[in-house]
Amino acid sequence: MKLEEALEIVALTNSGMVRAHNEDSIATEAACGLVVLADGMGGYNAGEVASGIAVEVTMSEITQPLQKSSPIKRDEETGEELAVALLGRSIHKANASIYQAAKSHTQYAGMGTTIVSALFYDNRVVVGHVGDSRLYRLRGETLVSITRDHSLLQEQIDCGMISIENARHSQNKNLVTRAVGIDAELIPEIHLHDVQVGDIYLLCSDGLNDMVEDDDIQGILYAMQGNLPLAAEQLIQTANDNGGRDNVSVILVKVKHDFAQPRSWLAGLIDWFKE
């Protein structure tokens, strides 16, 4: 089954109730199973530039090769599955592009962006992220965060300096420890997950999860899983009703059907011998 038939994708972004400009950028390509969200940072609208570059580069670096090759194949250089290799390369390319733009234009000095991207294929999803934009998964009634924030607050939680409860009221929520475009070198976090029919995946900027508790996100997604556009609107509306102190963006992906790639019996036998 084609990916655009197996996946329902809805994307929505809003400037919020306080910010004059929207520095979030989002993009989707259903035919490739690719969704990308970036939350920019930097003065004089440089954050908007950084997030735009990150999304544009990621989309280009992944969609063009996938038009020529199936993601289940292996990368010739690394031996990784092509989908994993493409996601990692796209983030590195975005990092280099933003870093060079910031060095070349003084008004963009110090700009950067978070990124969270997901590439669905063969009943799996590769997730790549840098910073504190998140990807959640709703499976049944259970909502879990697939990504772990690259932030000072998350490091404090991990080492026991602050409790999760107190973290909700911390003033350090927006201090990220990794961002795309800030340094010449970058280590993105990339993981591979199996998907199930009925799963709903939520990519969001911190303008959502800073304003809306995970339990409320879960409640909205579960109650409105039959109407994804309404669910996206309700998530953003709830963030704005709670103060809307930041731009808020959401991408929802619902797995409607199985999308395993056809495999010949010979390919399966070869893979079995390799294990």
Question: CATH no. for residue 83?
Answer: 3.60.40.10
Question: What is residue 268's predicted lDDT score, i.e. its pLDDT?
Answer: 46
Question: Which of 1-5, 51-55, 163-167 has the lowest average pLDDT?
Answer: 163-167
- Residue 244, domain extent: 3-274
**CB atoms inside a 10 Å sphere around CB 249:** 31
What's the domain count of the chain? 1
| Per-residue CA distances from 234 to 37, 113, 166, 208, 216 (Å) | 19, 25, 27, 11, 11
Question: What is residue 172's predicted lDDT score, i.e. its pLDDT?
Answer: 61
Q: What is the pTM of this model?
A: 0.90
Label residue 170 by pLDDT band (50, 70, 90).
Answer: low
The string of pLDDT tens digits covering residues 183-235 is 999 999 999 999 999 999 999 999 999 999 999 999 999 999 999 999 999 99
Orientation of helix 214-223 relative to helix 228-241, angle to 10°? 150
Question: What is residue 273's predicted lDDT score, i.e. its pLDDT?
Answer: 45
The string of pLDDT tens digits covering residues 234-270 is 999 999 999 999 999 999 999 999 999 876 444 444 4
Question: What is residue 261's predicted lDDT score, i.e. its pLDDT?
Answer: 83
Mean pLDDT of the chain, nearest integer: 89
